[in-house]
Amino acid sequence: MIDSDALNIPKSSFPRVVIVGGGFGGVALAKELSGKEVQVVLLDKNNYHTFQPLLYQVSTGGLEPDSIAYPIRKILQDYKNFFFRMAELQQVVREQKIVVTNIGELSYDHLVIAVGSETNFFGNIEIEKNGMAMKSIPQSLNLRSMILENFEQALLTDNLHERDALMNFVIVGGGPTGVELAGALAEIKKGILPKDYPDLDTRRAQINLIQSGDRILKEMSEKASEKAEDFLESLGVQIWKNTRVTDYDGKKVSTKTKLEFEAATLVWAAGVKGVSIKGLDAENFLVPGNRIKVNEFNQVVGDSNIYAIGDIACIQSDTTPYGHPMMAQPAIQQGTHLGENLVRLFDNKAMQPFKYKDKGSMATVGRNKAVVDLKKYRFQGVFAWFVWMFVHLFFLIGFRNRMVVFINWVYNYIRFDREARLIIRPYQRDYSKFNEPRTSKKEV
């Protein structure tokens, strides 16, 4: 039952801005509003901010999850008139200017939707059920556990065919996430698996990266795509271009080109869509990809008190017909800009339109291997890898996290290791599709 006073936010003479989502956009906005004559209530379903660009390192045992997560309360603790509630937004009731959450209702003067995006399986229920997504820390930990459990299981079967399937990986989507994950898995295969599993022929493990288009990293320059492909191939990753995955039953991966793969692990990194919000889910609010249509001030079209920023928001213009890229920089810049605009609004000044400053894009494939496209310069290799590391450390929230990640990277670099390969929270997948493990018969 919903209690309307459950959030316990005091009344204030200042306008109340409710921000839903403590990701890149929500946090940038909160920082911009600190010290201003406003009451800010930040809601998030988690009590931490997630640095998603390094999720793949959690999945592959390179980093512990707490080094890429940061308590939202700690971000806000020095700001006056700021309140955080761990709450999941369920509905926006525009007529009454309230949000409905799992812990109660809350009224707003201005509402900012910054809930980001979720994995888009494009309606394929079987792939969603049997494949793995990597959009949150719990999902990354599931993937880490499952990868390790598959190898433990591979040790238990006599059937070579089944053993190969347990050691094979299929990664769908040749964007930065797919490329980075494939590179990390290839490094594990080369440097760690032979030592950890001396009684398995881990050379037989395959890492397949499947891309529906004709090049990987298609949002980057052709040179970056070519070089990333070279890097991946040098690490032993098999890249399948112009190949569209159509089905996955937990073991067999089917494609439109009739190519088939047998793999116990399929990671779906082939698309995201905006998180659906009841009350803002009618067709007139949305563009394809479930993003909320906003004007150049990030105002939801048709409601001047509601704003959307980051992945969930789409500012359509002649130069951005599909909105801005669903990446950290647009979210951060929109959060900061909306903060400035709200202050202008409270001062009875005109709001300014959002202008995106493209700072370039980058992806890493592995040690000493990265590709960077800046506005004026493009480079690949060792220098690009250092730039990639520097940028990621810079944008991580929290001094401790930066230090922990830096020390881990130095350690992993020197020792060729990834020590967080731990099954802390077993994933417990159903292995019935694979050969019966030798031990299970005796144990039952």
Contact, 365 vs 183, CB < 8 A? yes
Integer Cα distance of 187 and 294 in angstroms: 42
- Indicate the residue among 39 and 140 with the shorter CB distance to ligand FAD: 140
Contact, 252 vs 239, CB < 8 A? no
Sign (positive or negative) of CA dihedral 58, 64, 66, 67: negative
* Residue 373 touching ligand FAD (CB under 6 A): no
* Residue 65 touching ligand FAD (CB under 6 A): no
Beta-bridge partner residues of 294 = 300, 315
Place of tokens 């040690």: 367
Integer Cα distance of 208 and 186 in angstroms: 10
Q: How many CB atoms lie within 10 A of CB 5?
A: 9
* Residue 175 touching ligand FAD (CB under 6 A): no
- Indicate the residue among 254 and 329 with the shorter CB distance to ligand FAD: 329
Q: At what angle do helices 24-33 and 328-346 cross, to 10 degrees?
A: 30
Place of tokens 């080094």: 67
* Residue 250 touching ligand FAD (CB under 6 A): no
| Least Cβ distance, residue 285 to ligand FAD (angstroms) | 16
What are the strands of the beta sheet with 16-20, ordered from one edge? 82-86, 39-44, 16-20, 110-113, 306-308
* Residue 339 touching ligand FAD (CB under 6 A): no
* Residue 135 touching ligand FAD (CB under 6 A): yes
Contact, 109 vs 305, CB < 8 A? yes
- Indicate the residue among 56 and 84 with the shorter CB distance to ligand FAD: 56
- Indicate the residue among 25 and 167 with the shorter CB distance to ligand FAD: 25
DSSP 164-193: HHHH-EEEE--SHHHHHHHHHHHHHHHHTH
Chosen residue from 275, 280, 372, 384 binding ligand FAD by CB under 6 A: 275
Integer Cα distance of 167 and 433 in angstroms: 14
* Residue 44 touching ligand FAD (CB under 6 A): yes
| Least Cβ distance, residue 135 to ligand FAD (angstroms) | 5
- Indicate the residue among 89 and 154 with the shorter CB distance to ligand FAD: 89
* Residue 133 touching ligand FAD (CB under 6 A): no
Chosen residue from 7, 18, 19, 23 binding ligand FAD by CB under 6 A: 23
* Residue 179 touching ligand FAD (CB under 6 A): no
* Residue 43 touching ligand FAD (CB under 6 A): yes
* Residue 281 touching ligand FAD (CB under 6 A): no
| Least Cβ distance, residue 217 to ligand FAD (angstroms) | 11
Task: Tell me the site size for ligand FAD, rule CB under 6 A.
Answer: 34
* Residue 331 touching ligand FAD (CB under 6 A): yes
| Least Cβ distance, residue 150 to ligand FAD (angstroms) | 20
* Residue 270 touching ligand FAD (CB under 6 A): no
* Residue 134 touching ligand FAD (CB under 6 A): yes
Please list, in sequence order, all residues whose beta carbon lies within 8 angstroms of the beta carbon of residue 200, skipping any fewer than 6 positions away: 151, 154, 155, 163, 167, 193
Instruction: Name which of 241, 242, 252 is nearest 126 in CA terms.
Output: 252
* Residue 55 touching ligand FAD (CB under 6 A): yes
Find the binding residues for ligand FAD in span 71-130 (CB under 6 A): 88-89, 114-116
Q: Which stretch binds ligand FAD (CB under 6 A): 51-59, 259-267, 290-298, 352-360?
A: 51-59
* Residue 24 touching ligand FAD (CB under 6 A): yes
* Residue 52 touching ligand FAD (CB under 6 A): yes
What does the per-residue mask of binding to ligand FAD show for 293-322, with x meaning CB under 6 A? -----------------xxx----------
What are the strands of the beta sheet with 252-255, ordered from one edge? 245-248, 252-255, 260-262
Integer Cα distance of 232 and 244 in angstroms: 20
| Least Cβ distance, residue 87 to ligand FAD (angstroms) | 6
- Indicate the residue among 160 and 374 with the shorter CB distance to ligand FAD: 374
Contact, 315 vs 355, CB < 8 A? no
Q: How many CB atoms lie within 10 A of CB 389?
A: 16
Q: What are phi and psi of 430, to 5 degrees?
A: -85, 115
* Residue 274 touching ligand FAD (CB under 6 A): no
- Indicate the residue among 167 and 181 with the shorter CB distance to ligand FAD: 181
* Residue 47 touching ligand FAD (CB under 6 A): no
DSSP 52-115: GGGHHHHHTTSS-GGGSEEEHHHHHTT-TTEEEEE--EEEEEGGGTEEEETTEEEE-SEEEE--
Question: Measured at CB, which residue is nearest to ligand FAD?
Answer: 23
* Residue 326 touching ligand FAD (CB under 6 A): yes
Residue 429: helix, strand or coil by DSSP? coil
> Using CB under 6 A as the criterion, which residues of the chain lie in contact with ligand FAD when the complex forms?
20-26, 43-46, 50, 52-53, 55-56, 88-89, 114-116, 134-135, 176-177, 275, 310-312, 326-329, 331
